[in-house]
Amino acid sequence: MAFDSIQTPAGKVDQVLGGSANFFSIAASIYAPVDIVGVVGEDFPKDHLLWLSQRKIDVSGVQVAPGKTFHWVGSYGQDLSDAKTLSTALNVFEHFDPRLSHKHSCAPYVFLANIDPELQQKVLDQVQEPRLVACDSMNFWIAGKLQELRKTLARVDIISLNEGEAYLLSEEKNILKAAQAIQKMGPSVVIVKRGAYGALLMTSQGFFIAPAYPTAHVVDPTGAGDSFAGAFMGYLAEAGAHRNLAQKDPVRWEQLLRRAVLAGCVMASFTVEDFSFRRLTQLKISDLVERQETLMRMIRVD
**Residues at the contact surface with a second copy, assessed by CB under 8 A:** 9, 78-79, 173-177, 194, 196-198, 200, 206-211, 214-216, 218, 255, 258-259, 262, 294, 296-299, 301-302
- At its nearest, how many Å lie between a second copy and the CB of residue 65? 41
Select 100 or 218, whichever has its Cβ closest to a second copy: 218
Select 47 or 79, whichever has its Cβ closest to a second copy: 79
Centre a 10 Å sphere on the Cβ of residue 81 and count the other Cβ atoms it contains: 15
Maximum pairwise Cα distance, the chain: 59
- At its nearest, how many Å lie between a second copy and the CB of residue 297? 7
Select 83 or 119, whichever has its Cβ closest to a second copy: 83
Phi, psi values for residue 171, rounded to 5°: 55, 30
Select 45 or 214, whichever has its Cβ closest to a second copy: 214
- At its nearest, how many Å lie between a second copy and the CB of residue 86? 22
- At its nearest, how many Å lie between a second copy and the CB of residue 89? 31
Select 69 or 269, whichever has its Cβ closest to a second copy: 269
- At its nearest, how many Å lie between a second copy and the CB of residue 295? 9
Select 143 or 296, whichever has its Cβ closest to a second copy: 296
- At its nearest, how many Å lie between a second copy and the CB of residue 249? 13
| SS3 state of residue 238 | helix
- At its nearest, how many Å lie between a second copy and the CB of residue 216? 5
DSSP the chain: -EEEEEEETTEEEEEEEE-HHHHHHHHHTTTS-EEEEEEEETTS-HHHHHHHHHTTEEEEEEEEESSPPPEEEEEE-TT--SEEEEEEE-GGGGG------HHHHT-SEEEE-SS-HHHHHHHHHH--S-SEEEEE--HHHHHH-HHHHHHHHTT-SEEEEEHHHHHHHHT-SSHHHHHHHHHHTS-SEEEEE-GGG-EEEEETTEEEEEPPP--S-----TTHHHHHHHHHHHHHHHTT--TTHHHH-HHHHHHHHHHHHHHHHHHHHHHTTSSTTHHHHT--HHHHHHHHHHHHHHH---
Residue 280's closest CA among 96, 16, 41?
Answer: 16
- At its nearest, how many Å lie between a second copy and the CB of residue 227? 20
Select 102 or 300, whichever has its Cβ closest to a second copy: 300
What's the CA gap between 215 and 169, in Å, rounded?
Answer: 30
Select 45 or 206, whichever has its Cβ closest to a second copy: 206
